[in-house]
Structure 1
């Protein structure tokens, strides 16, 4: 029965296959993004530990709250480290394989805005983790770690609920909605 339904389908309806060079380029890009994400996370941990130990904030961070600050550093570093190569690749990306221009290149001003937004979001995550680290004054370290994971993990929720249209940033919510409709 299934053989009969395939018999009427033309051969041109199949999806085009990627070339070997395209597969190699995709794998290289994936490795680059994953490596920069991991290295960014390690750099974020290093920076937040320096922030907790050797900066003006060191007296304000309790010993039981240091791990919450490290969790924020992981979020900050991974976000910036992951989006930096994606934005750079977007600068050099071209049109799709059919040449219709559905995936245009990023302009430098758009790329800088995207990176500034990612950087500000990463700083927001560090601020959230500093606030959660203050729980170390009254709670044991295990509960502060648990609170830090939830606070940093769900730190994007308040930003998603902001009325971006009031700030003149209509494209933020509409781009998110259009990408959901496309799927």
Structure 2
């Protein structure tokens, strides 16, 4: 398993995995699959994001195929430059339970610690995603807030837990 920063050349593979994520786990993302496929020039937008300073998107590749991803995004406003957010975390069902998520999050934490200005990392996780919550807690994240009815999918509401990891 190779874990590396994705580049603009990986945009198509990222977009395909993103669509898979939205189909496989719609409750875990604010964007719906239907909204995603309606976007104009999505691969170009992904490529631009992958080129953006302060945007670190890691990919897990198995035999050259992208099977996991995570984005670490450093806040840009002056008063928020001390923090970054982890989002768009996804691992294909076929390789879940093999430590890929742990490796991706650990890479993001290591990268965040290497950025002198960063003091904390934030993320949000759907409360019912027990496996992800356990992983984040194991790596030191703590819940700082709970948002009831944060997401709505069909007639079901999902609660999100907002978590933080103090780096320094």
Instruction: Give the structure-1-normalised TM-score.
Output: 0.23
- Relative to its length, the structure with more helix (as a share) is 1
Larger Rg: 1
- Relative to its length, the structure with more strand (as a share) is 2
